[in-house]
Structure 1
Amino acid sequence: MKRTVITIGLGLACGVAALSRATGRIENEQEKQTHIDTARTFNRSSALLALSVLADSAMEHYRGSFDNPAMYTPLVVSTLSLFAGLHGGRDSHPRRHAVRDSVFIAAALAGVVGTGFHLYNITKRPGRLSWHNLFYAAPIGAPMALLLSGALGAVAERLRDEPAHEPELLGMPAGQALALLVSAGLAGTLGEVGLLHFRGAFQNPAMYAPIVVAPVASLLLANTAICAPRERWFTRLWLRVTTALGFIGVGFHARGIARNRGGWRNWSQNLFNGPPLPAPPSFSALAIAGLAAQRLRETER
């Protein structure tokens, strides 16, 4: 009888240990899948930003007659970043892709250099950093979208290299670092939008929407990063609103183009004179990345 009891006890102990190991493996796989899904979402966000940059720079640099050969650079780099982001969005492997990573780093560097070129374009004009030059010279904030596209893609590749258990970026928990990155990106994008909508004198009350929605999204993500990890339903809701705002903004910009003389029948002129059609999706891209960072942050301890 005593031997039977001991045998049963040992069997139960072995069963509990096996169950514990199986549970640990399942949890590890779930954590691994969460941070790979986050990396893929950041790749898709990078691709959407690259598409916005490609369309916008193609139009604006065509209007500038590609006066400087360097004006072809953002078209080439954003195209490569677009394809790299789309490829990464489909890739579920937990390893950094060397080619994609190189493309994203090149895009970020091109964004920095482009910002320098645009700043030079502004300051060489009479009046230098005047309101007129900020409104009508090379848009100083435009290359920053390419920088963000490269940055989002590059951090996605580094996230893939992290172990499944509590991945880190820049010495911080990955969710925290990504939330801070997206928060800064939203704040930076807001500056360009505010400048252009101010130039448009806020003729339509809807032009205030990104000025109100984006700063709140940025602050909520900063709060997510700074405070202890927990579920934040309001942050997720606000980021979804920000995502929708970007796509709705395309409709408002299309309406602004249609209101010019000749409307869409005169598209070859009105696309350049109306509000920039490719610009609003940048908010959607960053909000999508913010949602992914929020999900990852909620799993951190």
Structure 2
Amino acid sequence: MTHASRFASGLASVAAGAALAVVATRSLREARRAPPIAKHVAAARAFNHGSALLALSVLADSAMEHYRGSFQNPAMYGALASATAALGASLHGGADRSEASHAVRHAVQLAAAATGTAGTAFHLYNVRKRPGGWSWHNLFYGAPAGAPFALLLSGALGAIAEQLRDEPEHDPRLFGMPAGKTLALIAGAGLLGTAAEAALLHFRGAYQHPAMYVPVVVAPAGAALLVHAALATPEPARRLRGFARLWLRITTALGFAGAGFHANGVARAQGGWRNWSQNLLAGPPLPAPPAFSALAVAGLAALRLRETEQ
């Protein structure tokens, strides 16, 4: 592939990512024009949207990775089934404007969180049992812990959304704390975990492109802003409120743009997209970057709810 064609492919990929971000922003604006709903229900629906995007990312990523592993362990099918169910439950919850939780959705999301927990433990065990045990090589090329952890996050966001719907509108609380505070801490922790996975894989890629530094800088900064919003007293939190919202919107766009950069990475491999059956499996994972967008959307919902608490 010539330099010009690579540049054109990269430009098209980034444009596609930007287009997806624009579509997502328009969808959020349309949702705001709908008749008003209770603030905690709006936050719950936003968490459902984040959960859906995470579940879709896990479904696509696990399908490719487990296919590459030839589905040697029957439990590999369980991840796909759980992610599919979580995606359906999250989409249903994202469209639900009622103030009551849904028992089936709640059960599906709890099951997804449990599946993600078991998958994370199994993937870490897979790394540990390889020759050499805990080493950089095995962390790079063993079973990735990021995908099942994302399923855990997807289920957790969906389950929390269901729990939040049952809270009183005037003073919603989660785990004994104001709901906005709890949601900000959860979204911040999720961003940190996702950034850690990106840092590991980009380190494996030797940070050969300057853009590879962006997610490991932007996402932790967004997590820090969420933790500050959760723990700071009202006046310092108010001063950073607008900046935090802007930063999380940048993080949302980052996830879609990252998918474009990963698509460009696939195009640059030998054979490009003509050899997609091999390059999709060997190249940078396309479904991974939107996880940043999912958690940033949840973080924005947490900020909106936190503002009403302060």
Please say whether Structure 1 and Structure 2 have the same fold, judged by a TM-score greater than 0.5. yes
Partner residue of 2:261?
Answer: 252
| Inter-partner Cα distance in structure 2 for 1:81 and 1:71 | 16
| Inter-partner Cα distance in structure 2 for 1:228 and 1:106 | 36
**Equivalent residue in structure 2 for 1:89, among 84, 88, 94:** 94
Moved more, 229-238 or 248-257: 229-238
Shift of 1:41: 0.6
Shift of 1:47: 0.4
Partner residue of 1:283?
Answer: 292
1:205 aligns with 2:210: yes
> SS state of the match for residue 299, structure 1?
helix
| Inter-partner Cα distance in structure 1 for 2:232 and 2:142 | 41
Higher relative contact order (CA 8 A, sep 6+): 2
Identity %: 67
| Inter-partner Cα distance in structure 1 for 2:301 and 2:288 | 22
Partner residue of 1:176?
Answer: 181
| Inter-partner Cα distance in structure 2 for 1:76 and 1:287 | 25
> SS state of the match for residue 148, structure 1?
helix
Shift of 1:296: 0.4
Partner residue of 2:3?
Answer: none
For residues 172-220 of structure 1, the C-alpha deviation after alignment (integer angstroms, 9 at most, x for no partner) is 0000000000011111111110000000000100000001101100000
Partner residue of 1:262?
Answer: 271
| Inter-partner Cα distance in structure 2 for 1:178 and 1:87 | 20
| Inter-partner Cα distance in structure 2 for 1:207 and 1:116 | 27
| Inter-partner Cα distance in structure 1 for 2:232 and 2:68 | 46
Shift of 1:53: 0.1
Partner residue of 2:16?
Answer: none
Structure 2: tracts of 5 or more residues without a match: 1-34
Which AA in structure 2 matches 1:142?
A: A
> SS state of the match for residue 96, structure 1?
coil
| Inter-partner Cα distance in structure 2 for 1:225 and 1:261 | 47
Shift of 1:141: 2.4
| Inter-partner Cα distance in structure 1 for 2:106 and 2:74 | 25
Partner residue of 2:27?
Answer: none
Partner residue of 1:217?
Answer: 222
| Pair member with larger Rg | 1
Which AA in structure 2 matches 1:209?
A: V
| Inter-partner Cα distance in structure 2 for 1:184 and 1:140 | 16
Partner residue of 2:103?
Answer: 98
Shift of 1:227: 1.2
| Inter-partner Cα distance in structure 2 for 1:181 and 1:228 | 19
1:298 aligns with 2:302: no
1:193 aligns with 2:198: yes
Structure 1: tracts of 5 or more residues without a match: 1-28
| Inter-partner Cα distance in structure 2 for 1:105 and 1:228 | 33
**Equivalent residue in structure 2 for 1:144, among 139, 149, 164:** 149
Matched positions, count:
272
Which AA in structure 1 matches 2:129?
A: K
Shift of 1:273: 1.0
TM norm structure 1 = 0.89
Partner residue of 1:238?
Answer: 247
Which AA in structure 1 matches 2:157?
A: L
| Inter-partner Cα distance in structure 2 for 1:281 and 1:39 | 20
| Inter-partner Cα distance in structure 2 for 1:147 and 1:83 | 16
TM norm structure 2 = 0.86
| Inter-partner Cα distance in structure 2 for 1:257 and 1:193 | 17
